[in-house]
């Protein structure tokens, strides 16, 4: 994976730049020791690493603005970083950059149950947002598998979703406003805890922009009352394609479960060994959760059972109690970690129409044979957000390149059937060279012009999202 050549002039000014940063931040917030900056050399796409020149850990919006102002004056690239859980290399540094981490910005700033919102600093973890309101009967809906660790900053950057996004939507559907610091240090507020306003949807532009337009330091999030009740069921099938057809039929029937999650046999085995969730022994498993009153739950499950029975499930089992329900979801949330215990893998993030699930799952199986690499599938089936885990040997020469080539073919397939390159992980460095597969030159130019407006010097999160040839020509121009 190519990265830009470090700017030697910037590296020669490292001491000066660090001194200027120490002038606006506490001493412990500026990290220059190479032994310590290595902690920021990669994110969860650990196949690629590059230690930054400097890392900074501000605590306030004003400190972020001061850092960006200095970097703007010095011409120093800045890579915003939440918790470093990006699976697409979205927080990968360059050798001449400043990593701006928001992990210390984790306060709850305001909670308003009457107007159903919470305002937090962007370094707060996803799960702890719900933790701040659940005692009063509320929750924050987006729930990525990494929600214990991932930061709201990264959720906004990548428009993260999670298992329950089928009913409640992804981050953009639950984001009301942000405080954004632009590259020149200007602080702006976009949106807020009121109804949608007329004019350009700047909040929609910022959410999912992968740190290309500014640094989000605060977020106003929609919170919801907890449902009256919820119950997951496990539905096992003897093939991936049949399970995919069942998902398509549930959606076509007009049902809207809270979640429909898919796991195939490799993931089932690894997860069961890791989490002891009580999953059935089958080729493909659906975890389907519905919510509401007891009567509503019973009615929904009866309709789902009827649809599932048309596809001869090998098992249909409702969670017996709340403890079993928690173990079912613990297993699903642990799937990536469980697979990581048994093999190196690369996790993809293509999205397809739900009706294409059977075909795409079959084609992935055929490609697996073609490339000679196994695949584990675990994903948000209800909205067609695939997460194929391509297994490879990181210590075997050529295996990573083969894995990436396989992944590119899967993502091209997603676009071919009417889907897109990413659902919630973002483009980062992983998919930047595939942007031309999904977007025409005119489409890309429109995106580049938005970047020009927000970041004319192209200093924010370099070498991400856009193909490198496009990026380099833009910066040179």
Give the integer Cα–Cα distance in Å for 18 and 98.
10
**Residue 82: its pLDDT value, please?**
97
**Residue 199: its pLDDT value, please?**
81
Question: What digits encode the pLDDT tens for the residues 415-450?
Answer: 999 999 999 999 999 999 999 999 999 999 999 999
Confirm if 258 and 290 have CB atoms less than 8 A apart.
Answer: yes
Q: What is the 3-state secondary structure (H, E, C) of 60-116?
A: CHHHHHHHHHHHHHHCCCEEEECCCCCCCCCCCCCCCCEEEECCCCCCEEEEECCCC
Asked if the model's pLDDT at residue 237 lies above 90, the reply is yes
Confirm if 261 and 346 have CB atoms less than 8 A apart.
Answer: no
Asked if the model's pLDDT at residue 5 lies above 90, the reply is no
Confirm if 305 and 351 have CB atoms less than 8 A apart.
Answer: no
Domain at 8-104: CATH code: 3.30.43.10
Decide if domain 108-225 falls under CATH 3.40.50.261.
no
Question: What digits encode the pLDDT tens for the residues 251-296?
Answer: 999 999 999 999 999 999 999 988 888 999 999 999 999 999 999 9
Confirm if 235 and 228 have CB atoms less than 8 A apart.
Answer: no
**Residue 2: its pLDDT value, please?**
72
pLDDT average, residue stretch 114-136: 98
This model's pTM is above 0.85: yes
Give the integer Cα–Cα distance in Å for 207 and 157.
6
Domain at 343-416: CATH code: 3.30.70
Confirm if 281 and 264 have CB atoms less than 8 A apart.
Answer: no
Average pLDDT of the residues of the chain: 95
CATH 3.30.70.3450 domain locations along the chain: 230-332
Question: What digits encode the pLDDT tens for the residues 102-115?
Answer: 999 999 999 999 99
pLDDT band at 194, cuts 50/70/90?
Answer: confident
Q: Which among 116, 417, 209, 157 is positioned nearest to 409, based on CA atoms?
A: 417
CATH 3.30.465.10 domain locations along the chain: 108-225
- And the tokens for 156? 């906004």
Asked if the model's pLDDT at residue 6 lies above 90, the reply is no
CATH 3.30.43.10 domain locations along the chain: 8-104
DSSP classification of residue 419: -
What number of other Cβ atoms are within 10 A of residue 418's Cβ?
Answer: 12
* 36-74 per-residue burial string, b: 16 or more CB within 10 A, e: under 16: ebeebbbbbbebbebbbbbbbbbbebebbbbbbbbbbeb
Give the integer Cα–Cα distance in Å for 120 and 61.
12
Strand ranges, E, within 175-229: 175-181, 187-191, 215-222, 224-225
**Residue 134: its pLDDT value, please?**
97
Domain at 230-332: CATH code: 3.30.70.3450
Q: Which among 453, 463, 458, 471 is positioned nearest to 188, based on CA atoms?
A: 453
Cα dist from 233 to 85, 107, 279, 384, whole Å: 29, 36, 10, 19
pLDDT average, residue stretch 453-464: 96
């Amino acid at each position: 994976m190519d990265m830009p050549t470090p700017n030697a002039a910037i590296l020669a000014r490292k001491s000066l730049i660090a001194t200027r940063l120490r002038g606006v931040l506490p001493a412990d917030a500026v990290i220059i020791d190479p032994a310590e900056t290595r902690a920021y050399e990669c994110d969860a796409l650990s196949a690629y690493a590059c230690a930054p020149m400097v890392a900074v850990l501000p605590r306030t919006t004003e400190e972020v603005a001061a850092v960006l102002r200095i970097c703007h004056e010095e011409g120093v690239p800045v890579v915003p970083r939440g918790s470093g859980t990006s699976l697409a290399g979205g927080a990968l540094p360059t050798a001449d950059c400043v990593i701006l981490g928001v992990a210390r910005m984790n306060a709850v700033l305001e909670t308003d149950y009457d107007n159903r919102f919470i305002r937090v600093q962007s370094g707060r973890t996803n799960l702890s947002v719900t933790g701040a309101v659940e005692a009063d009967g509320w929750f924050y809906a987006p729930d990525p598998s990494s929600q214990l660790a991932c930061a709201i900053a990264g959720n906004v950057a990548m428009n993260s979703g999670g298992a329950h996004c089928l009913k409640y939507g992804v981050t953009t559907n639950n984001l009301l406003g942000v405080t954004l610091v632009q590259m020149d240090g200007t602080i702006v507020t976009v949106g807020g805890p009121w109804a949608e306003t007329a004019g350009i949807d700047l909040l929609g532009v910022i959410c999912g922009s992968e740190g290309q337009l500014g640094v989000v330091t605060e977020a106003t999030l929609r919170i919801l009352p907890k449902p009256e009740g919820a119950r997951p069921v496990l539905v096992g099938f003897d093939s991936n394609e049949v399970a995919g057809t069942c998902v398509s039929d549930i959606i076509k029937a007009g049902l809207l479960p809270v979640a429909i999650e898919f796991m195939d046999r490799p993931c089932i085995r690894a997860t069961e060994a890791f989490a002891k969730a009580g999953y059935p022994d089958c080729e493909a498993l659906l975890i389907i959760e519905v919510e509401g009153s007891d009567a509503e739950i019973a009615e929904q499950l009866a309709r789902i059972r009827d649809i599932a029975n048309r596809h001869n499930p090998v098992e249909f089992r409702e969670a017996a109690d709340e403890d079993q329900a928690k173990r079912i979801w613990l297993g699903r949330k642990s799937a990536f970690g469980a697979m990581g215990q048994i093999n190196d893998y690369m996790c993809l993030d293509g999205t397809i129409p739900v009706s294409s699930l059977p075909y795409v799952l079959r084609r992935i199986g055929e490609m697996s044979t073609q490339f000679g690499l196994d695949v584990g599938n675990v994903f948000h089936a209800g909205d067609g957000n695939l997460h194929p885990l391509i297994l490879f040997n990181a210590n075997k020469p050529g295996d990573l390149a083969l894995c990436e080539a396989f992944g590119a073919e899967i993502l091209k397939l997603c676009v071919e059937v009417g889907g897109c390159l990413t659902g919630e992980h973002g483009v980062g460095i992983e998919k930047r060279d595939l942007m031309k597969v999904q977007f025409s030159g005119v489409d890309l130019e429109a995106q580049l012009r938005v970047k020009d407006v927000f970041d004319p010097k192209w200093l924010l999160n370099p070498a991400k999202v856009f193909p490198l040839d496009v990026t380099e020509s833009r910066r040179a121009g």
